[in-house]
C-alpha cells in the first residue's frame, strides 16, 4: 500500500520516522538521527516565486556517495533531441500498432523506446515521446534523469515507483510524473507492463490556467497525489544509472540511494487518476479546441504556448446540436503525438488501438477517417455518452522528429494515410 498527500506544487512535508524532519530550519548543525541534509533544486535559485521549486531531503547518506565515478552505458532506443533519423522517410501522417512485449527480461528503463524528439535537451527546450515495455522489475538498480522530468501513462500493467520521496503506484488510467533529478526504481505490480512516456526537457509541468472557466474544473489540484516519505536502509551494493546530456552512465553505489527518511518542499513526484479530470465542453453547438482537455502544460517562454501540453480525451457526454461531433479536419502549427490507453477514439474507429501511436506533425492535415466522417454526418444528434475511451495527446509547439525505431517499427502502418481515401467529393455542383 502506498500513502499519499494531496495537492499540486504544495509545500509538502513528510517524515518516515517521527522527529526526523528538522523544525524551523533547513540545515541544522546536526540533523536528527544523524541524517544528512541535502537540497534538490528543480528550478534556478533565483526563479520567480511562482515557479521556484526545491525540496530538502534528510538522508542516511548524501547523494555524492551514490552518484560518482561514472562509466559510460548504452540505452540506444532512448534517443534525445536533437536527433535526426538516418532512415529516409517522407514527412507524413504516421501511425503505429502496439509495440509487442519482449520475450526476454527487460526492465522499465531498458524498455523505453523513444519514437519522437523535439527541441534540444541541452537547451532545456522540448521533449521526447514514446512507449515503454517491461517484463521484469529493476533489482538493485536505480535511475535518475538529468535531462528532464518523465510523465508515464501506463496502458497495460501497474507499476510501482520507489522514489527518494516515497512510493507511487500507478496503473492504466493514471499518470505518474518523476521530476528531473529524482532517483527511483520501477517494479512490476501485476505482470508485464506497457505504456507511454513523455520526457520533458523544459519547464516542469503545471496546471494550465483556466481563464474564464474559473477556479475549478479540468484537473483539480487536490486530486494530485505525492507520496509520503519512505526509505530503504539497505547496505546491498547496487547500480546507479543516470541520463545526462542524451547519454547514459552507471556507477556502483554501496547502498540504496532511496535513503531519504524525511523531506519537505514543493519539488516531488506525483500521480493523478485521469478519471478525476472534470471535462468542460460544448453545451449547445460546435466542437471547441482540444485545449479544453489540457491536464498539464510545460510552459514555454511564449505566453500561453506550451513546449508540451498533455491533453486527454476522456469519457464524456456529447450534446451539441446540429454539429459534427468528432474532431474536425484541421492543420495545426503544433505537433500532435497521440496514444490510446483504452477503448476506441471517435475520430478513428479502427486502426488506432490501445498501445498504438499516431503522429500528426506540425502543419500536416488530418482529421476523422472516412468511416468516422460517414458515421458522424448521419448520426442522430441525441445526447450520447462517449464511453470506454481514453486517448491522450502530447502536443508541442515544436516539430516532433520520428526516430529510427519509429520509422522501422514492425507495427508501423505504412498505409495509414489511406484511412482518408474513402472521403468522397460531396460537392453538390447542381443543387437539386
Ligand X SMILES: O=C(O)Cc1cc(O)ccc1O
Q: Does 369 bind ligand X (CB under 6 A)?
A: no
Which helix (H) or strand (E) is 200 found in, with range? strand 193-200
What does the per-residue mask of binding to Fe ion show for 307-336, with x meaning CB under 5 A?
-----------------------------x
**182 and 165 Cβ atoms separated by less than 8 Å:** yes
**113 and 130 Cβ atoms separated by less than 8 Å:** yes
- CB under 5 to 8 A by kind: which of ligand X, Fe ion, none does 243 bind? none
Please work out the total of residues on this chain that contact ligand X, with binding judged by CB under 6 A. Answer: 10
Q: Record the cell numbers describing residue 31, joined without a space.
A: 540533523
Distance, CA of 151 to CA of 80 (rounded, Å):
15
Q: Does 327 bind ligand X (CB under 6 A)?
A: yes
Active-site option among 89, 287, 322, 360? 287
Distance, CA of 19 to CA of 262 (rounded, Å):
9
Q: Does 325 bind ligand X (CB under 6 A)?
A: no
Q: Look up 401 and say whether it is catalytic.
A: no
Sole window of 30-38, 234-242, 325-333, 379-387 interacting with ligand X (rule: CB under 6 A): 325-333
Distance, CA of 298 to CA of 310 (rounded, Å):
9
Q: Does 347 bind ligand X (CB under 6 A)?
A: yes
Q: Does 346 bind Fe ion (CB under 5 A)?
A: no
Q: Does 290 bind ligand X (CB under 6 A)?
A: yes
Q: Which is nearer to ligand X, 247 or 316 (CB)?
A: 316
Cα-Cα-Cα-Cα torsion 149, 151, 157, 158, nearest 10 degrees, comes to 70
Count of alpha carbons within 13 Å of 68, Cβ hemisphere only?
6
**79 and 44 Cβ atoms separated by less than 8 Å:** no
Q: Which is nearer to ligand X, 172 or 327 (CB)?
A: 327
User: Using the rule CB under 6 A, which residue among 15, 155, 169, 336 binds ligand X?
Assistant: 336
What does the per-residue mask of binding to Fe ion show for 85-124, with x meaning CB under 5 A?
----------------------------------------
- CB under 5 to 8 A by kind: which of ligand X, Fe ion, none does 290 bind? ligand X
Question: Measuring CA to CA, which residue among 150, 71, 166, 156 is closest to residue 112?
Answer: 150
- Where does 216-334 show beta strands of DSSP type E? 224-227, 238-244, 247-253, 260-265, 270-273, 294-299, 306-313, 316-318
End-to-end CA separation in angstroms for the chain: 68
Distance, CA of 335 to CA of 337 (rounded, Å):
7
Q: Does 309 bind ligand X (CB under 6 A)?
A: no
Q: Does 366 bind ligand X (CB under 6 A)?
A: yes
- CB under 5 to 8 A by kind: which of ligand X, Fe ion, none does 60 bind? none
Sole window of 4-12, 58-66, 159-167, 330-338 interacting with ligand X (rule: CB under 6 A): 330-338
Query: Which residues have CB under 8 Å from 20's CB, separation 6+?
Result: 32, 33, 35, 58, 229, 261, 262
What letter does residue 285 receive in the DSSP assignment? B
Q: How far is the CB of 298 from Fe ion (least distance, A)?
A: 19
Q: How far is the CB of 309 from Fe ion (least distance, A)?
A: 12
What letter does residue 63 receive in the DSSP assignment? G
Q: How far is the CB of 289 from ligand X (least distance, A)?
A: 6
Q: Does 330 bind ligand X (CB under 6 A)?
A: yes
Q: How far is the CB of 361 from ligand X (least distance, A)?
A: 11
Q: Record the cell numbers describing residue 204, joined without a space.
A: 516542469
Q: How far is the CB of 367 from Fe ion (least distance, A)?
A: 7
Q: How far is the CB of 299 from ligand X (least distance, A)?
A: 20
- CB under 5 to 8 A by kind: which of ligand X, Fe ion, none does 179 bind? none
Q: Which is nearer to Fe ion, 10 or 291 (CB)?
A: 291
Distance, CA of 308 to CA of 205 (rounded, Å):
8
**180 and 145 Cβ atoms separated by less than 8 Å:** yes
Q: Which is nearer to Fe ion, 47 or 362 (CB)?
A: 362
Please work out the total of residues on this chain that contact Fe ion, with binding judged by CB under 5 A. Answer: 1
Residues forming a β-bridge with 5? 226
- CB under 5 to 8 A by kind: which of ligand X, Fe ion, none does 7 bind? none
Q: Which is nearer to Fe ion, 265 or 326 (CB)?
A: 326
- For cell 531519504, name the residue: 260
Q: Which stretches of the chain bind ligand X, using CB under 6 A? A: 287, 290, 327, 330, 332, 336, 347, 360, 366, 393
Active-site residue list? 287
Q: Which stretches of the chain bind Fe ion, using CB under 5 A? A: 336
Amino acid at each position: 500500500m502506498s500513502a499519499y498527500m494531496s495537492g499540486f506544487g504544495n509545500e509538502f512535508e513528510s517524515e518516515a520516522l517521527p522527529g526526523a524532519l528538522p523544525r524551523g530550519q533547513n540545515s541544522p548543525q546536526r540533523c536528527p538521527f544523524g541524517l544528512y541534509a541535502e537540497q534538490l533544486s528543480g528550478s534556478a535559485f533565483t526563479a520567480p516565486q511562482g515557479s521556484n521549486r526545491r525540496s530538502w531531503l534528510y538522508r542516511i547518506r548524501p547523494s555524492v556517495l551514490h552518484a560518482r565515478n561514472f562509466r559510460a552505458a548504452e540505452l540506444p532506443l532512448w534517443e534525445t533531441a536533437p536527433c535526426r533519423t538516418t532512415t529516409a522517410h517522407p514527412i507524413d501522417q504516421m501511425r503505429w500498432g502496439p509495440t509487442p512485449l519482449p520475450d526476454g527480461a527487460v526492465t522499465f528503463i531498458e524498455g523505453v523506446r523513444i519514437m519522437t524528439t523535439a527541441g534540444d535537451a541541452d537547451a532545456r527546450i522540448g521533449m521526447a515521446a514514446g512507449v515503454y515495455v517491461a517484463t521484469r522489475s529493476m533489482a538493485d538498480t536505480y535511475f535518475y534523469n538529468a535531462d528532464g522530468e518523465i510523465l508515464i501513462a501506463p496502458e497495460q500493467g501497474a507499476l510501482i515507483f520507489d522514489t527518494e520521496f516515497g512510493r507511487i503506484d500507478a496503473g492504466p488510467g493514471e499518470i505518474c510524473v518523476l521530476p528531473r533529478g529524482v532517483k527511483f526504481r520501477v517494479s512490476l505490480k501485476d505482470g508485464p507492463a506497457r505504456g507511454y512516456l513523455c520526457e520533458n526537457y523544459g519547464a516542469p509541468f503545471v496546471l494550465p490556467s483556466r481563464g474564464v472557466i474559473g477556479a475549478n474544473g479540468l484537473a483539480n489540484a487536490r486530486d494530485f497525489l505525492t507520496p509520503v516519505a519512505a526509505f530503504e536502509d539497505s547496505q546491498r551494493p547496487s547500480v546507479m544509472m543516470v541520463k545526462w546530456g542524451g547519454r547514459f552512465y552507471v556507477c556502483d553505489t554501496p547502498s540504496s540511494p532511496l535513503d531519504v527518511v524525511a523531506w519537505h518542499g514543493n519539488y516531488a513526484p506525483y500521480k493523478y487518476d485521469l478519471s478525476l479530470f472534470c471535462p468542460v465542453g460544448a453545451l449547445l453547438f460546435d466542437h471547441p479546441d482540444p485545449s479544453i482537455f489540457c491536464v498539464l502544460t510545460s510552459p514555454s517562454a511564449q505566453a500561453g504556448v506550451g513546449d508540451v501540453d498533455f491533453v486527454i480525451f476522456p469519457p464524456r457526454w456529447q450534446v451539441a446540436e446540429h454539429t459534427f461531433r468528432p474532431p474536425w479536419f484541421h492543420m495545426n502549427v503544433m505537433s500532435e503525438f497521440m496514444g490510446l490507453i483504452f477503448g476506441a477514439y471517435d475520430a478513428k474507429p479502427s486502426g488506432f488501438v490501445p498501445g498504438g501511436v499516431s503522429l500528426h506533425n506540425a502543419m500536416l492535415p488530418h482529421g476523422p477517417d472516412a468511416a468516422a466522417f460517414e458515421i458522424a454526418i448521419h448520426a442522430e444528434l441525441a445526447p450520447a455518452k462517449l464511453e470506454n475511451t481514453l486517448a491522450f495527446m502530447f502536443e508541442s509547439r515544436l516539430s516532433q522528429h520520428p526516430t529510427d525505431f519509429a520509422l522501422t517499427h514492425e507495427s508501423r502502418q505504412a498505409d495509414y494515410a489511406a484511412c482518408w481515401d474513402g472521403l468522397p467529393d460531396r460537392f453538390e455542383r447542381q443543387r437539386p
